[in-house]
Amino acid sequence: MSARAFKVGVFVPTWIAGSGLPHWTTTELDGRPRWSDILRTAELADDAGLDSVWVCDHMLMDGDWSAPDPPELAPAAGASGCWDAWAVMAALAGRTTRVEIGSLVACTSYLNPARLARLADTIDEISGGRLILGLGAGDHWSEFRRFGYPPDRPIARFEEALKIIGPLLRTGHVDFEGEFYAARDCELSPRARSSGPPILIGTLGTGPRMTRLVVEHADLWNGWYVFDETDPLPDLTAQLERIDAACDVRGRDPASLARTAGVSIAFSGFEAETGSITGTDEQIAETLSTYAAAGVQHLQVVTSPTGPAGVERLARVVELIDRAAPGA
Protein backbone atom coordinates (compact mmCIF):
# COMPACT_ATOMS: atom_id res chain seq x y z
CA MET A 1 0.00 0.00 0.00
CA SER A 2 1.02 3.61 -0.58
CA ALA A 3 0.74 6.46 1.92
CA ARG A 4 -3.01 6.36 1.36
CA ALA A 5 -4.92 5.40 4.51
CA PHE A 6 -7.24 2.86 2.92
CA LYS A 7 -7.17 -0.04 0.48
CA VAL A 8 -9.09 -0.29 -2.79
CA GLY A 9 -10.01 -3.60 -4.38
CA VAL A 10 -12.05 -4.65 -7.39
CA PHE A 11 -14.50 -7.42 -8.19
CA VAL A 12 -13.47 -9.83 -10.89
CA PRO A 13 -16.39 -10.64 -13.23
CA THR A 14 -17.49 -14.23 -12.63
CA TRP A 15 -21.17 -13.70 -13.40
CA ILE A 16 -23.39 -13.71 -16.45
CA ALA A 17 -25.38 -10.49 -16.72
CA GLY A 18 -29.04 -11.29 -16.13
CA SER A 19 -32.08 -10.65 -14.01
CA GLY A 20 -30.32 -11.51 -10.75
CA LEU A 21 -27.60 -8.89 -11.13
CA PRO A 22 -28.97 -6.27 -13.51
CA HIS A 23 -26.66 -3.58 -12.15
CA TRP A 24 -23.41 -5.54 -12.49
CA THR A 25 -22.85 -4.70 -16.11
CA THR A 26 -20.43 -6.73 -18.19
CA THR A 27 -20.41 -4.44 -21.20
CA GLU A 28 -16.88 -5.17 -22.32
CA LEU A 29 -17.25 -8.93 -21.88
CA ASP A 30 -20.66 -9.20 -23.58
CA GLY A 31 -22.20 -10.48 -20.37
CA ARG A 32 -20.39 -13.85 -20.38
CA PRO A 33 -16.88 -13.71 -18.92
CA ARG A 34 -14.57 -16.66 -19.53
CA TRP A 35 -11.64 -17.72 -17.38
CA SER A 36 -9.31 -15.74 -19.62
CA ASP A 37 -11.33 -12.59 -18.85
CA ILE A 38 -11.29 -13.26 -15.12
CA LEU A 39 -7.56 -13.91 -15.10
CA ARG A 40 -6.76 -10.86 -17.23
CA THR A 41 -8.80 -8.67 -14.85
CA ALA A 42 -7.01 -10.00 -11.76
CA GLU A 43 -3.54 -9.83 -13.30
CA LEU A 44 -4.14 -6.26 -14.39
CA ALA A 45 -5.28 -5.35 -10.85
CA ASP A 46 -2.14 -7.05 -9.52
CA ASP A 47 0.08 -5.01 -11.84
CA ALA A 48 -1.82 -1.72 -11.61
CA GLY A 49 -1.42 -1.08 -7.89
CA LEU A 50 -4.86 -2.10 -6.62
CA ASP A 51 -4.87 -3.78 -3.23
CA SER A 52 -7.27 -6.70 -3.67
CA VAL A 53 -9.50 -8.72 -5.97
CA TRP A 54 -12.87 -10.07 -4.86
CA VAL A 55 -15.06 -12.98 -5.93
CA CYS A 56 -18.78 -13.43 -5.27
CA ASP A 57 -20.06 -16.81 -4.05
CA HIS A 58 -23.28 -17.33 -5.98
CA MET A 59 -24.49 -19.94 -8.43
CA LEU A 60 -27.77 -18.80 -9.98
CA MET A 61 -29.73 -15.68 -9.09
CA ASP A 62 -33.10 -14.89 -10.57
CA GLY A 63 -33.83 -11.45 -9.16
CA ASP A 64 -36.04 -12.73 -6.32
CA TRP A 65 -34.58 -11.40 -3.07
CA SER A 66 -37.64 -12.21 -0.94
CA ALA A 67 -37.73 -14.00 2.40
CA PRO A 68 -36.58 -17.62 2.76
CA ASP A 69 -38.63 -20.36 1.12
CA PRO A 70 -40.58 -18.32 -1.46
CA PRO A 71 -43.84 -20.03 -2.45
CA GLU A 72 -42.88 -20.16 -6.12
CA LEU A 73 -39.62 -20.15 -8.04
CA ALA A 74 -39.17 -17.78 -10.92
CA PRO A 75 -38.06 -19.43 -14.17
CA ALA A 76 -34.33 -20.14 -14.16
CA ALA A 77 -34.01 -18.98 -17.76
CA GLY A 78 -32.44 -15.52 -17.84
CA ALA A 79 -31.05 -15.75 -14.31
CA SER A 80 -27.50 -14.66 -13.48
CA GLY A 81 -25.18 -17.64 -13.32
CA CYS A 82 -21.72 -17.50 -11.76
CA TRP A 83 -18.52 -19.50 -12.01
CA ASP A 84 -17.62 -21.32 -8.78
CA ALA A 85 -16.01 -18.92 -6.30
CA TRP A 86 -13.67 -21.42 -4.64
CA ALA A 87 -12.26 -22.71 -7.91
CA VAL A 88 -11.71 -19.15 -9.14
CA MET A 89 -10.02 -18.03 -5.91
CA ALA A 90 -7.70 -21.04 -5.91
CA ALA A 91 -6.70 -20.38 -9.52
CA LEU A 92 -6.14 -16.67 -8.88
CA ALA A 93 -4.06 -17.48 -5.81
CA GLY A 94 -1.61 -19.28 -8.04
CA ARG A 95 -1.56 -16.71 -10.85
CA THR A 96 -1.24 -13.42 -8.91
CA THR A 97 1.61 -12.33 -6.68
CA ARG A 98 0.66 -9.25 -4.68
CA VAL A 99 -3.07 -8.51 -4.36
CA GLU A 100 -5.16 -9.91 -1.54
CA ILE A 101 -7.86 -12.33 -2.69
CA GLY A 102 -11.24 -12.17 -0.97
CA SER A 103 -14.63 -13.84 -1.02
CA LEU A 104 -17.50 -11.39 -0.69
CA VAL A 105 -18.99 -13.37 0.73
CA ALA A 106 -18.85 -17.17 0.91
CA CYS A 107 -22.15 -18.62 2.10
CA THR A 108 -21.46 -21.06 4.93
CA SER A 109 -24.59 -23.07 4.07
CA TYR A 110 -23.15 -24.12 0.70
CA LEU A 111 -20.34 -26.22 2.22
CA ASN A 112 -19.76 -28.29 5.32
CA PRO A 113 -18.02 -25.76 7.61
CA ALA A 114 -15.00 -27.95 8.38
CA ARG A 115 -14.55 -28.56 4.65
CA LEU A 116 -14.90 -24.82 4.03
CA ALA A 117 -12.10 -24.15 6.54
CA ARG A 118 -9.88 -26.75 4.81
CA LEU A 119 -10.49 -25.09 1.43
CA ALA A 120 -9.80 -21.61 2.78
CA ASP A 121 -6.57 -22.68 4.45
CA THR A 122 -5.37 -24.38 1.27
CA ILE A 123 -6.08 -21.30 -0.85
CA ASP A 124 -4.31 -19.18 1.75
CA GLU A 125 -1.27 -21.44 1.35
CA ILE A 126 -1.35 -21.26 -2.45
CA SER A 127 -1.54 -17.47 -2.30
CA GLY A 128 1.27 -17.09 0.21
CA GLY A 129 -1.02 -15.72 2.92
CA ARG A 130 -3.11 -13.32 0.82
CA LEU A 131 -6.64 -14.69 1.45
CA ILE A 132 -9.38 -12.69 3.15
CA LEU A 133 -12.16 -15.12 4.04
CA GLY A 134 -15.47 -13.30 3.71
CA LEU A 135 -18.37 -15.26 5.21
CA GLY A 136 -22.12 -14.76 5.32
CA ALA A 137 -25.36 -16.55 6.09
CA GLY A 138 -26.73 -16.31 2.55
CA ASP A 139 -29.25 -13.96 1.03
CA HIS A 140 -30.64 -15.46 -2.19
CA TRP A 141 -33.15 -18.00 -1.05
CA SER A 142 -34.31 -19.31 -4.41
CA GLU A 143 -30.67 -20.24 -5.04
CA PHE A 144 -30.83 -22.39 -1.89
CA ARG A 145 -33.86 -24.23 -3.26
CA ARG A 146 -32.47 -24.74 -6.74
CA PHE A 147 -29.27 -26.34 -5.43
CA GLY A 148 -30.88 -28.26 -2.58
CA TYR A 149 -29.70 -26.37 0.50
CA PRO A 150 -32.01 -25.87 3.51
CA PRO A 151 -33.07 -22.21 3.74
CA ASP A 152 -34.57 -22.36 7.23
CA ARG A 153 -32.94 -20.69 10.26
CA PRO A 154 -30.03 -19.21 8.32
CA ILE A 155 -28.57 -17.19 11.21
CA ALA A 156 -28.60 -20.16 13.59
CA ARG A 157 -26.83 -22.28 10.97
CA PHE A 158 -24.34 -19.50 10.34
CA GLU A 159 -23.51 -19.19 14.03
CA GLU A 160 -22.79 -22.90 14.32
CA ALA A 161 -20.64 -22.79 11.18
CA LEU A 162 -18.57 -19.97 12.68
CA LYS A 163 -17.99 -22.04 15.82
CA ILE A 164 -16.28 -24.63 13.62
CA ILE A 165 -14.56 -22.45 11.01
CA GLY A 166 -13.07 -19.91 13.42
CA PRO A 167 -11.31 -22.35 15.79
CA LEU A 168 -10.08 -24.53 12.94
CA LEU A 169 -8.45 -21.62 11.13
CA ARG A 170 -7.12 -19.85 14.21
CA THR A 171 -5.93 -22.82 16.29
CA GLY A 172 -5.99 -25.72 13.84
CA HIS A 173 -8.40 -27.77 15.96
CA VAL A 174 -12.06 -27.95 16.96
CA ASP A 175 -14.34 -30.35 18.79
CA PHE A 176 -17.94 -29.29 18.31
CA GLU A 177 -21.36 -30.86 17.95
CA GLY A 178 -24.42 -28.70 17.36
CA GLU A 179 -27.92 -28.93 15.98
CA PHE A 180 -26.87 -28.52 12.34
CA TYR A 181 -23.14 -29.29 12.16
CA ALA A 182 -20.53 -31.38 13.92
CA ALA A 183 -16.74 -31.57 13.77
CA ARG A 184 -15.42 -33.97 16.41
CA ASP A 185 -11.71 -33.82 17.25
CA CYS A 186 -11.14 -32.22 13.84
CA GLU A 187 -7.73 -30.87 12.88
CA LEU A 188 -6.30 -28.88 9.99
CA SER A 189 -2.97 -30.37 8.99
CA PRO A 190 -0.89 -29.00 7.35
CA ARG A 191 -1.68 -25.35 7.99
CA ALA A 192 -0.93 -22.23 5.94
CA ARG A 193 -0.28 -19.74 8.75
CA SER A 194 -0.60 -20.14 12.48
CA SER A 195 -3.35 -17.54 12.94
CA GLY A 196 -5.27 -18.44 9.78
CA PRO A 197 -6.58 -15.96 7.20
CA PRO A 198 -8.56 -12.96 8.49
CA ILE A 199 -12.31 -13.54 8.64
CA LEU A 200 -14.65 -10.91 7.22
CA ILE A 201 -18.37 -11.09 7.95
CA GLY A 202 -20.79 -9.32 5.68
CA THR A 203 -24.13 -8.03 6.93
CA LEU A 204 -26.92 -6.68 4.77
CA GLY A 205 -29.01 -5.46 7.65
CA THR A 206 -28.77 -4.08 11.17
CA GLY A 207 -30.12 -7.02 13.18
CA PRO A 208 -28.59 -7.52 16.64
CA ARG A 209 -27.80 -11.22 16.10
CA MET A 210 -25.62 -10.66 13.03
CA THR A 211 -23.99 -7.64 14.64
CA ARG A 212 -23.13 -9.77 17.68
CA LEU A 213 -21.62 -12.46 15.45
CA VAL A 214 -19.48 -9.85 13.70
CA VAL A 215 -18.12 -8.63 17.03
CA GLU A 216 -17.53 -12.16 18.35
CA HIS A 217 -15.98 -13.79 15.28
CA ALA A 218 -14.80 -11.30 12.64
CA ASP A 219 -11.53 -9.55 11.97
CA LEU A 220 -13.24 -7.31 9.41
CA TRP A 221 -16.80 -6.00 9.07
CA ASN A 222 -18.34 -5.43 5.67
CA GLY A 223 -21.29 -3.28 4.73
CA TRP A 224 -22.33 -4.54 1.33
CA TYR A 225 -24.67 -2.45 -0.79
CA VAL A 226 -26.55 -1.15 2.21
CA PHE A 227 -25.88 2.34 0.92
CA ASP A 228 -27.95 2.23 -2.29
CA GLU A 229 -29.18 5.79 -2.10
CA THR A 230 -28.24 9.22 -3.36
CA ASP A 231 -26.24 10.15 -0.26
CA PRO A 232 -24.94 6.92 1.33
CA LEU A 233 -22.60 8.39 3.92
CA PRO A 234 -25.18 9.04 6.68
CA ASP A 235 -26.29 5.41 6.47
CA LEU A 236 -22.67 4.24 6.48
CA THR A 237 -21.88 6.41 9.49
CA ALA A 238 -24.88 4.98 11.36
CA GLN A 239 -23.73 1.43 10.54
CA LEU A 240 -20.23 2.13 11.85
CA GLU A 241 -21.63 3.66 15.03
CA ARG A 242 -23.73 0.52 15.62
CA ILE A 243 -20.64 -1.64 15.22
CA ASP A 244 -18.70 0.54 17.69
CA ALA A 245 -21.54 0.30 20.21
CA ALA A 246 -21.74 -3.49 19.83
CA CYS A 247 -17.99 -3.76 20.44
CA ASP A 248 -18.33 -1.68 23.59
CA VAL A 249 -21.17 -3.88 24.89
CA ARG A 250 -19.12 -7.05 24.42
CA GLY A 251 -15.86 -5.59 25.72
CA ARG A 252 -14.03 -5.52 22.40
CA ASP A 253 -11.80 -2.67 21.31
CA PRO A 254 -13.57 -1.20 18.24
CA ALA A 255 -10.18 -0.49 16.67
CA SER A 256 -9.52 -4.25 16.51
CA LEU A 257 -12.36 -4.70 13.99
CA ALA A 258 -11.44 -3.38 10.55
CA ARG A 259 -14.19 -1.71 8.50
CA THR A 260 -14.83 -2.45 4.82
CA ALA A 261 -17.56 -1.40 2.42
CA GLY A 262 -18.73 -2.48 -1.01
CA VAL A 263 -19.45 0.34 -3.45
CA SER A 264 -20.40 0.73 -7.08
CA ILE A 265 -18.59 3.03 -9.51
CA ALA A 266 -20.01 3.84 -12.94
CA PHE A 267 -17.48 5.53 -15.17
CA SER A 268 -18.52 8.06 -17.78
CA GLY A 269 -20.43 6.46 -20.64
CA PHE A 270 -21.44 3.32 -18.76
CA GLU A 271 -24.60 2.24 -16.95
CA ALA A 272 -25.08 3.53 -13.40
CA GLU A 273 -27.34 2.06 -10.74
CA THR A 274 -28.95 3.87 -7.82
CA GLY A 275 -26.18 4.84 -5.44
CA SER A 276 -23.35 4.43 -7.97
CA ILE A 277 -20.46 6.82 -7.59
CA THR A 278 -20.16 8.83 -10.80
CA GLY A 279 -18.34 11.87 -12.17
CA THR A 280 -14.86 12.65 -13.38
CA ASP A 281 -11.92 10.61 -12.15
CA GLU A 282 -11.06 13.45 -9.80
CA GLN A 283 -14.61 13.56 -8.40
CA ILE A 284 -14.68 9.79 -7.92
CA ALA A 285 -11.32 9.91 -6.13
CA GLU A 286 -12.67 12.60 -3.80
CA THR A 287 -15.81 10.56 -3.05
CA LEU A 288 -13.79 7.43 -2.23
CA SER A 289 -11.66 9.48 0.13
CA THR A 290 -14.80 10.55 2.03
CA TYR A 291 -15.48 6.88 2.79
CA ALA A 292 -12.01 6.61 4.29
CA ALA A 293 -12.61 9.77 6.31
CA ALA A 294 -15.78 8.14 7.68
CA GLY A 295 -13.76 5.18 8.97
CA VAL A 296 -13.66 2.66 6.10
CA GLN A 297 -10.27 0.98 5.72
CA HIS A 298 -10.91 -1.15 2.64
CA LEU A 299 -13.28 -0.55 -0.28
CA GLN A 300 -14.47 -3.32 -2.60
CA VAL A 301 -15.54 -1.84 -5.90
CA VAL A 302 -17.92 -3.13 -8.54
CA THR A 303 -17.04 -1.19 -11.67
CA SER A 304 -19.15 -0.34 -14.67
CA PRO A 305 -17.75 -1.49 -17.03
CA THR A 306 -16.48 -4.66 -15.40
CA GLY A 307 -13.36 -6.50 -16.43
CA PRO A 308 -10.03 -5.05 -17.56
CA ALA A 309 -11.55 -1.77 -18.76
CA GLY A 310 -12.98 -1.16 -15.29
CA VAL A 311 -9.66 -1.99 -13.62
CA GLU A 312 -7.80 0.44 -15.87
CA ARG A 313 -10.20 3.25 -14.98
CA LEU A 314 -10.14 2.40 -11.28
CA ALA A 315 -6.34 2.33 -11.28
CA ARG A 316 -6.32 5.92 -12.58
CA VAL A 317 -8.60 6.96 -9.72
CA VAL A 318 -6.37 5.23 -7.15
CA GLU A 319 -3.33 6.96 -8.62
CA LEU A 320 -5.04 10.31 -8.06
CA ILE A 321 -5.78 9.35 -4.45
CA ASP A 322 -2.17 8.30 -3.95
CA ARG A 323 -0.88 11.59 -5.29
CA ALA A 324 -3.05 13.49 -2.83
CA ALA A 325 -2.14 11.33 0.17
CA PRO A 326 -0.03 12.92 2.93
CA GLY A 327 3.59 12.05 2.41
CA ALA A 328 3.12 11.17 -1.24
Q: What is the mean pLDDT of the chain?
A: 89
The H or E element spanning position 118 is helix 113-127
Q: How far is CA 304 from CA 276, 296, 308, 309, in A?
A: 9, 22, 11, 9
Stretch 181-190: mean pLDDT, rounded? Answer: 98
223 neighbors 217 (Cβ within 8 angstroms) = no
Q: How far is CA 97 from CA 12, 13, 240, 270, in A?
A: 16, 19, 32, 30
Sign of the Cα torsion 239, 245, 250, 251 reads: positive
Tens digit of each residue's pLDDT (9 = 90 or more) over 265-287: 999 988 887 778 999 999 999 99
Higher pLDDT, 103 or 142: 103
φ, ψ dihedrals at 179, nearest 5°: -75, -35
Residue 204: what pLDDT? 66
Higher pLDDT, 30 or 43: 43
Per-residue pLDDT for 146 more than 50?
Answer: yes
Stretch 25-30: mean pLDDT, rounded? Answer: 53
Residue 185: what pLDDT? 98
**CATH architecture label of 7-324:** Alpha-Beta Barrel (3.20)
Which pTM does this prediction carry?
0.94
Q: How far apart are CA 205 and CA 203, in angstroms?
A: 6
Residue 286: what pLDDT? 95
